[in-house]
Amino acid sequence: MCDVEEAGGHETLDLVRDAGGTGHFARVDVAAEDEVSAFVDDAVRRYGRLDAAVNNACAEVAGPTMDLPSSTFDELIDTNLKGVYYGMRHQIRTMRTTGGGAIVNQSSVTSTIEAEDDNGLYGATKGAVNALTMAAAVQVAREGIRINAIASALHDTPGDVWHGFSESQGLDFDHFKEFIPLKRYGTAEEILGVTMFLRSDASGFVVGEVLVCDGGWTIPSPGAFG
């Protein structure tokens, strides 16, 4: 696994090891293609091959969509869109040498599914991730490489973008719970379950999908929020 934030990366690695797993962490800026390429190559050297990958590149700056500086949009594109592109580019490169694999990209419901006027630049990058996921999936499916994405929202996990968005808007995070049909937040385990499904053989006929995992948040049903 990799991240630009070393403390969080090492903490996650410790959790993996505490659960009986193994792993390796490296500090990587996903906005730098040479660092992403080197990380993928290092993973193959360590483990022999790459069968599955998750691209969870994320930066968020909340604010009025058309009033934020252009430099903010550049920052979000570099991380959220180019980071995913670089990841897929080099993951596909090595998967082609071993006969295939599965890639899961992290998107968001704040993409092409719903709109937030104070989160539009982030949403635009995630909408682009959806488009990139579908286009890449069609290109490489014949090579045994499946690519899908998860559009998630409202998971009570450390560092989740909804926590940051709530803070930036001066809202209590629990404010959103009343608008979720399940009346609770999602868990890290539930996002993991969806991710593992999309990288497993159980989803072998699923290609280019953007799977929504939001507790029913985006279902346009008048009775859902009663």
Q: Which residues contact 27 (CB under 8 A, 6 or more apart)?
A: 2, 3, 4, 6, 9
Residue 82: Cβ within 10 Å count: 20
pLDDT at 161: 64
Q: What average pLDDT does range 107-128 have in this prediction?
A: 86
pLDDT above 80: residue 169:
no
To the nearest whole number, what is the mean pLDDT of the chain? 90
| pLDDT: which is higher, 173 or 141 | 141
Work out the average pLDDT over 30-40.
Answer: 98
163 vs 56 pLDDT, higher one? 56
Say if residue 34 is exposed, middle or buried (CB neighbours under 10 Å; 0-12, 13-18, 19+). Answer: exposed
| 66 C-beta neighbours (distance < 10 Å), count | 8
| pLDDT above 60: residue 178 | yes
Report d(CA 201, CA 151) in Å as an integer: 21
Least confident of 53-57, 61-65, 139-143, 202-206: 61-65
- Local confidence band at 225 (pLDDT 50, 70, 90 cut-offs): very low
Confidence of residue 226 (pLDDT cuts 50, 70, 90): very low
Q: Based on the residue annotation, tell me whether 47 is a catalytic residue of this protein.
A: no
Q: Which candidate in 47, 85, 86, 122 is catalytic?
A: 122
The model's pTM is 0.90
pLDDT tens-digit readout, 38-82: 999 999 999 999 999 999 988 888 888 899 999 999 999 999 999
Where b means 16+ CB within 10 Å and e means fewer, 190-211 reads ebeebbeebbeeebeeebbbbb
Q: What kind of fold does domain 50-225 have according to CATH? A: Rossmann fold (3.40.50)
Q: Is the pLDDT of residue 222 over 60?
A: no
Would you list the domain boundaries of the chain? 50-225
